[in-house]
Structure 1
Amino acid sequence: MIELRSAITDLTLNMHDLEKQLHPLGFVTSDNWDYDHGYIDYQMDDSGEAYHFLRIPYKAIQGEIGSGNPEVQLGQPFLLAHRYESGIEHDGITAYSAVYNQFSAPEEKDAYVDQKYIRDGVLILKEVENRLVH
């Protein structure tokens, strides 16, 4: 995990506006949320063995995530990589299969983030800042 400095850290806005601004860029609201916090993710690649994300955490400061239109405060964005072991067979499905990777735990949850993804993540984050910071 690599934390990125950003002008959006501590920014407060409602969930609807956050999604309205970032979904067109390719961000998705992560299924990994609770009533008081969550993440919005940009998947930078899907090689079948590794997945790189720009992740923006948020926490509810008024209302609850998943209910209505809560006001959220953004946390510090970070880059994250999950790497899957290649070539292992699991019930006849190799690790090269996206189906297998989708349902298996990563070999490395906090894998090395290549310089290319750091550069790409910083550029994507600049676009996010341009949309959210007026």
Structure 2
Amino acid sequence: MLELQTGIEGKQAYFGPTMESIRDLGYKLGGGWDYDGGCFDSVLWREGGETIYLRIPFHVSHGELDGYHTSIVFRTPYVIKHVVNVGLDMDASSLTTATFNQFQDPIDKDAEIRDKSKWEEAGEQAVEEVITLLQ
């Protein structure tokens, strides 16, 4: 995991308008959310079973998550690499092709990230795009 130094930490926003704005940049609400907080996730790179994500966590300061006017406060974003098992899909509806189950748990949720400075820079640039949309 690579923590990023950006200007988003502590910024406040409303959940609904923020989600609408950053959806076009490829962000989704991360699967581990609860009513007190969550994170916006975006894929920076994917090849085979390896994916490098930018994760922008936040906590709820007023309301409950998934409410349009819920107030959120951003925390320190980070880059993380997940590795999933890539194998053969042998079900009857497909040819024998290499594939992976997008819903499987990663083999390694915090795999080593090579070329750290490259991914720190890519993550920081992506966060700057989000900050611009919040203004």
TM-score, with length taken from structure 2: 0.81
Gaps spanning 5+ residues in structure 2: where? none
Partner of 1:118: 120
Partner of 2:24: 24
Structure 1 residue ranges (4+ consecutive) displaced by more than 6 angstroms after TM superposition: none
- Aligned-CA RMSD value: 2.4
CA distance in 2, matches of 1:113, 1:75: 21
The answer to whether the aligner puts 1:70 opposite 2:90 as a matched pair is no
Partner of 1:97: 99
CA distance in 2, matches of 1:23, 1:16: 11
**Structure 2 counterpart SS, 1:13:** strand
TM-score, with length taken from structure 1: 0.81
Residue 105 of structure 1 and its aligned partner are, at CA, apart by 1.9
**Structure 2 counterpart SS, 1:129:** helix
Verify the 8 A CA contact 1:28 1:41 in the aligned structure 2.
yes
Residue 124 of structure 1 and its aligned partner are, at CA, apart by 1.1
Verify the 8 A CA contact 2:37 2:60 in the aligned structure 1.
yes
Partner of 1:9: 9
Q: In structure 1, what residue type is equivalent to 2:70?
A: P
CA distance in 1, matches of 2:84, 2:120: 20
How many residues are aligned here?
129
Query: What do residues 67-90 of structure 1 show as CA deviations (whole Å, max 9, x unaligned)?
Result: 342101111110011012455x6x
